[in-house]
Chain A
Amino acid sequence: MFNNFDGKVVLDNLHFLIEGMQTTLLLTVVAIIGGLLLGTLLALARLSPFKTLSFVAGTYVNFFRSMPLILVIFWFYFLVPHILGRPVGGFYSVLVAFVLFEAAYYCEIMRAGIQSVRQGQIYAGQALGLTYQQNMRYVVLPQAFRNMIPILMTQAIILFQDTSLVYVVGIKDFLVSADLVANRENRILEMFTTVAIVYFVICLSGSLFIRRLQEKFNL
């Protein structure tokens, strides 16, 4: 079956595949931004002096970190419309799932990053008369972000790979588009091999780029 590998099928459907890749990238970018924002808030909540707040944030994080992403996708895909009493399109359901799920992971990265800022810096800020908020905003978070850049970027690559799981609910991302072509043209082997190569090239370039960045800026 493999000895008549048909590369033409990929070229013929290039347009379709590129559209799928756009969905994948859109999903990745929005999930990163949303996850990062929510994750930062959660991290601040976890480190806050208010016990209840930090308990709630901690529970949230542990809850989502105990669940497989596929299960989270199913939850939101099928049951959110029930709760809201109105349909949210499939794409938005999984987007919500990704943001909420990734926020738990980003929270842990942010927490580690914030804790990596030396205590002396915080004291210095306090000595200068900065409020807690100002101290976080101008002293701690900028340094924390710098320390976290490599991990955040690695997480972005993981997230990019994770978006392929929307396959289980049929959102037309890169993998599903390829799967559709594969089924239509009866070319499953060619399409899956192509998908693997494309993901590999993108992710490898990404990780090499991160490594270069780390060396250059000594992060």
Chain B
Amino acid sequence: MFKQLCVAAAATVFLLGNAAPSMAADSPVLTRIKERGTVNMGHRESSVPFSYIGSDGKPQGYSIDLCMKFIDAIKAETGLADLKINYVPVTSQTRIALMANGTIDLECGSTTNNLTRQKQVDYLPVTFITGTKIASKKGSGITEIEDLDGKVVALSLGTTNEKAIKRVAAEKGIKLKTVMVKDHPQGWLSVETGRADAYASDHVLLYGLISKSKDPSQFQVTGRFLSYDPYGIMVPRNDSTYRRLGILTLADLMRSGEAHKIYDKWFNPGPTGINMPLSDTLKKAFEIQALPH
């Protein structure tokens, strides 16, 4: 199935390529990739199971798999069969800047597509839907953000969650003490070691962190969604040719059901046992985004 798809995709691209041989020429990103013979792929180090370093030291995950399909399409488009991938680790604080300044050609992590960020970067279709929730120790009596009044909550710098928590807390007059951390593992560690009562992040990432902790049964993810966070693969702004190639790749995957398979590989139950079957919302999102040729 996969092979057929690749052949089909390659053939399509080949035909399109013949019809419009200058397609790469009007795309600055494709041009620079072609010149370098290398694609710079931004990835996270601990966004389980989207983009994280596996035990072999290489990035892996749901977003990485999707990006690999995109890179296959880039290979076909540029005619570079031996296109090299240069892995660039990014954090929630560095990803936008590195995309905006051209260091990375695509970012495969767990990045929310929002309109503020679209002033700097562009996105491919939504590949996951999540939102801010709270993780804490079982028996801590914490369910909703209101329960965090006077408690210590860890927040990851530069995330949409940080902004969401601070906004809701300000609206509701909840007094929080915050511990600012660099990335998810540090936030998680502060809950595990008792430095913070809770860590607020995208709910799927919290499940990922719990699934990797020493004793997953000790922890819980609770509360209503405090924000709406649709994830997308990030690409540079103002390059519709390049972006279209990515949209085409993902639309094909979503139409053919390949996207569902990749999803199941990482989430149902997934290598870390995260166990999140494809939700109805995301299934619908796949359907809607499977644009026809």
Residues of A bordering B, CB below 8 Å:
1, 16, 77-79, 81-82, 85-90, 169-170, 172, 180, 182-184, 186, 188
Contacts and interface: CB of A to CB of B under 8 A. Distances in A.
B281 interface: no
Interface stretch (B86-94, B141-149, B285-293): B86-94
B103 A90 contact: yes
Contacts of B63: none
A77 B57 CA distance: 24
Given A78-B97, A184-B46, A89 B89 contact: no
Interface in B213-247: 213-214
Contacts of B86: 89
A81 B105 CA distance: 14
B101 A186 contact: no
Interface string B107-148: 000000000000000000000000000000000000000000
A82 B213 contact: no
Would you call the interface of chain A mostly helix, strand, loop, or mixed?
A: helix
Contacts of B279: none
Nearest to B103: A87
Nearest to A167: B182
Contact of B88 (A78, A90, A183): A90
A87 B53 CA distance: 24
Contacts of A90: 88, 98, 103
B27 interface: no
A82 B120 CA distance: 13
Contacts of B94: 77-78, 169-170
A16 B90 contact: no
A82 B45 contact: no
Contacts of A87: 40, 101-104
A169 B102 CA distance: 16
28 contacts: A1-B193, A16-B57, A78-B94, A78-B97, A81-B102, A81-B103, A86-B102, A87-B40, A87-B102, A87-B103, A88-B103, A90-B98, A90-B103, A169-B94, A170-B45, A170-B89, A170-B91, A170-B94, A180-B45, A180-B53, A182-B185, A183-B45, A183-B183, A183-B185, A183-B186, A184-B52, A184-B55, A186-B213
A78 B98 CA distance: 7
Nearest to A79: B101
B179 interface: no
Contacts of B189: 188
A82 B101 contact: yes
Interface in B12-61: 32, 40, 45-46, 52-53, 55, 57
Given A82-B101, A180-B53, A186 B89 contact: no
A89 B103 contact: yes
A3 to B, nearest CB: 13
Most buried by A among B46, B90, B97, B101: B101
Contact of A172 (B40, B89, B90, B214): B89
B283 interface: no
Contact of B212 (A79, A81, A88, A186): A186
B60 to A, nearest CB: 11
A87 B97 CA distance: 11
Nearest to B193: A1
Contacts of A1: 193
Contacts of B55: 184
Contacts of B214: 186
Contacts of B91: 170
Contacts of B89: 170, 172
A174 B97 CA distance: 24
Contacts of A182: 185
